């Protein structure tokens, strides 16, 4: 194997281990925050009090934010690595589905965390999410009430999902995929040192009060592409059908996998189908990356 190949292999084996270190720190700092966080009443004021009045509250918030982002980004890169190397060919369908589903849940945890800040951006993101769910024909109203309800309890369901259901579900789903739950001490040490330095030295973004009037409100970074699509397409299409189709195509890859074009007609069709779908997904990912960058620079 070439030197570049060896380096790439090393990086791919480091990513999940560092990701696990970030998850451990994220869960630990989340447990500290949950003692002070109140999902009812004036949530924005409560979060500001955690930042300014609770001893080291600012530190735990920033540590939680940094470790949560790092964990999800590393899980995304790890899945991308599997996808680009076409490792779904060696996975059982069930295993691949669990991995993709867990990654989607990681993004949902980040999203609910963003809502929990209780500031203008969090509230706005929660409302867009509610509108997307309500746009589902016939059952939208009932489905949205399973995740978020308007009024005084607006933050309560996202809180339950974020702090309890989703982390437990993610850990449960990835349990068989993880070979070693406690990453080698070196990774834990590097992850902890890096994230502590980040929490101490990097200033957090300013939380915008819910009553402030601002020209433009942005959702979390991974949602910016959807936010842009929502400007041009109907809610159901931009918020559910397009992302759903993308995830659906990703899921069926192991079903149509082939190692080489076989002589028979069906084998050739499967080979072309798998490769066609693979590259279509690569193009869709690049396009989404472009939409995200565009929205980050010029606004959604």
Q: What is the contact mask toward ligand HEM in residues 96 to 125, using x (rule: CB under 6 A)?
A: -------------xx--xx-xx--------
Among 20, 133, 148, 163, binds ligand HEM (CB under 6 A): 163
What's the min distance (Å) between Cβ of 238 and ligand HEM? 23
CA gap 281, 274 in Å, rounded: 11
**278 in contact with ligand HEM (CB under 6 A):** no
What's the min distance (Å) between Cβ of 171 and ligand HEM? 8
Among 19, 126, 158, 167, binds ligand HEM (CB under 6 A): 167
What's the min distance (Å) between Cβ of 92 and ligand HEM? 25
Do residues 63 and 21 make contact, with C-beta atoms less than 8 angstroms apart? no
**37 in contact with ligand HEM (CB under 6 A):** yes
At which residue do the structure tokens 């997307």 appear? Answer: 132
Q: Looking at beta carbons only, is 27 or 190 nearer to ligand HEM? A: 27
Backbone angles phi, psi at 18, to 5 degrees: -65, -35
Q: Looking at beta carbons only, is 22 or 253 nearer to ligand HEM? A: 22
Among 18, 20, 63, 65, binds ligand HEM (CB under 6 A): 65
What's the min distance (Å) between Cβ of 259 and ligand HEM? 35
- The Cβ-side half-sphere exposure at 191, using a 13 Å CA radius, reads 28
Rounded alpha-carbon distances, angstroms, from residue 92 to 4, 57, 87, 136, 254: 29, 44, 10, 32, 7
**191 in contact with ligand HEM (CB under 6 A):** no
CA gap 251, 249 in Å, rounded: 5
**CA angle, 212 as apex, 52 and 51 as ends, to 5°?**
10
**64 in contact with ligand HEM (CB under 6 A):** yes
At which residue do the structure tokens 């060919």 appear? Answer: 89
Locate all alpha helices (DSSP H) within 233-264, ordered by sequence.
235-236, 242-252
Among 72, 79, 102, 228, binds ligand HEM (CB under 6 A): 72
What's the min distance (Å) between Cβ of 34 and ligand HEM? 4
Centre a 10 Å sphere on the Cβ of residue 54 and count the other Cβ atoms it contains. Answer: 16
What's the min distance (Å) between Cβ of 261 and ligand HEM? 41
**24 in contact with ligand HEM (CB under 6 A):** no
**DSSP structure class, residue 260:** S
Rounded alpha-carbon distances, angstroms, from residue 24 to 32, 76, 77: 13, 17, 18
Site for ligand HEM in 203-262 (CB under 6 A): none
CA gap 76, 252 in Å, rounded: 18
Q: Looking at beta carbons only, is 64 or 78 nearer to ligand HEM? A: 64
CA gap 61, 50 in Å, rounded: 8
**63 in contact with ligand HEM (CB under 6 A):** no
Q: How many residues bind ligand HEM (CB under 6 A)?
A: 25
What's the min distance (Å) between Cβ of 72 and ligand HEM? 5
Residues in the chain: 300
**33 in contact with ligand HEM (CB under 6 A):** yes
Sign of CA dihedral 60, 65, 68, 71: negative
Which stretches of the chain bind ligand HEM, using CB under 6 A?
A: 26-27, 30-31, 33-34, 37, 47, 61, 64-65, 68-69, 71-72, 109-110, 113-114, 116-117, 162-163, 167, 170
């Amino acid at each position: 194997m070439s030197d570049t190949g060896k380096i790439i292999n090393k990086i791919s084996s480091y990513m999940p281990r560092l990701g696990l270190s970030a998850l451990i720190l994220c869960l630990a700092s989340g447990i500290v925050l949950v003692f002070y966080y109140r999902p009812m009443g004036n949530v924005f004021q409560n979060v500001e009090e955690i930042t300014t009045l609770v001893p080291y509250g600012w530190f735990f918030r920033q540590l939680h934010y940094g470790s949560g982002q790092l964990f999800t980004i590393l899980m995304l890169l790890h899945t991308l690595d599997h996808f680009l190397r076409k490792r779904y060919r060696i996975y059982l369908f069930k295993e691949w589905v669990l991995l993709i589903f867990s990654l989607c849940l990681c993004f949902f945890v980040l999203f609910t965390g963003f809502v929990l800040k209780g500031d203008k951006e969090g509230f706005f993101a929660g409302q867009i999410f509610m509108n997307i769910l309500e746009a589902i024909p016939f059952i939208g109203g009932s489905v949205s009430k399973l995740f978020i309800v308007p009024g005084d309890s607006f933050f309560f369901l996202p809180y339950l999902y974020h702090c309890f259901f989703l982390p437990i579900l993610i850990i449960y789903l990835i349990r068989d995929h993880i070979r070693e739950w406690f990453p080698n001490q070196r990774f834990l040490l590097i992850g902890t040192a890096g994230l502590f330095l980040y929490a101490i030295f990097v200033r957090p973004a300013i939380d915008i009060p819910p009553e402030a009037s601002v020209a433009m409100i942005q959702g979390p970074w991974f949602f910016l592409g959807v936010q842009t699509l929502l400007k041009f397409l109907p809610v159901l299409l931009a918020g559910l059908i397009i992302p759903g189709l993308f995830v659906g195509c990703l899921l069926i890859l192991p079903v149509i996998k082939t190692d080489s074009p076989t002589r028979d007609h069906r084998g050739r069709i499967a080979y072309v189908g798998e490769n066609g779908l693979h590259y279509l997904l690569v193009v869709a990912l690049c396009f989404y990356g472009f939409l995200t960058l565009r929205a980050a620079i010029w606004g959604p």
